[in-house]
Amino acid sequence: MRRPIIGIAANEIEDAGARLYHLPISYTPCGYVKAVQNAGGLPMVLPVGPPELAKDYIDQIDKLVLAGGQNVSPSLYGESIQVEEALLSQERDQFELALIEEAVRQTKPIFAVCRGLQLANVALGGSLYQDISQLNDTKISHMQVPISREIPTHQIRTEETSILRKIYGEKTTVNSFHFQAIKKLAKRLKMTAISEDGIIEGVESKDSSLAFLGVQWHPDFAYDHLEQEMAVFRYVVEKL
């Protein structure tokens, strides 16, 4: 039986440091690649490129994974920039928006992590909090550095009939590495997990024509330490 091809949208860095001769590189964190392989899928890394390439990429894959990384440009949801320019990547935004549009058009499933969830929400008509540290009612830290990436640091609660409830149970603890979060949820999506301080942590589709699962935490950081995080990759590869 053919392994499902899982396209993983990549990131770029202009200077990879002295060890790599300060080269610009295209990359994706190995957690996505290894977890997809372990789940029986065939990962295909999709480097950032012109939006017109999106159709050709989506034609070749069975499912799309949107990874973490830079903040999403506020201009995409009609706001002025209130965050550091260095944390944005217009080229990546535009390429991944094209991937999302094409995946939706071809009815191919999307799994979105952290930034990927935020961008997908914006692509479908939602908006974001640019900096959740400015929210008065934020009671927990959503950026856990310097705590190790695989260690879960705050609790979430899942919705009863959700995909995430089947994988994670009613309550679980997850890691946290984000500055932005969903503000207005896109109409085609529904909240299926929430943090103790009200931040949307899990999102699924409420539209039968859109197969979508998004999480605000990073399963790719802990897939080899926590069964629940490997389980979500198995779900994506086998069932989404």
Q: From CA 72, how far away is CA 92, in angstroms rounded? A: 9
Return phi, psi of residue 130, to 5°: -70, -30
Q: Is the entire prediction scored with pTM above 0.75? A: yes
More confident residue, 209 or 82: 209
Residue 52 neighbours by CB under 8 Å, 6+ apart:
98
CATH for 5-238?
Answer: 3.40.50.880
Nearest to 6, CA basis, from 149, 213, 176, 181: 213
- Ranges of each domain in the chain: 5-238
Q: Give pLDDT tens digits for 54-113.
A: 999 999 999 999 999 999 999 999 999 887 665 889 999 999 999 999 999 999 999 999
Residue 135 pLDDT more than 80? no
Residue 137 neighbours by CB under 8 Å, 6+ apart:
197, 198
- Cα torsion 96, 183, 213, 30: sign: positive
| Helix, strand, or coil (residue 131) | coil
CA–CA distance from 86 to each of 7, 49, 73, 82, 198 (Å)? Answer: 26, 19, 11, 12, 28
DSSP 53: G
Q: Give pLDDT tens digits for 121-134.
A: 999 999 999 988 77
Cross-strand partners of 191: 203
Measured N-to-C along each axis, helices 227-238 and 30-38 cross at an angle, to the nearest 10 degrees, of 70
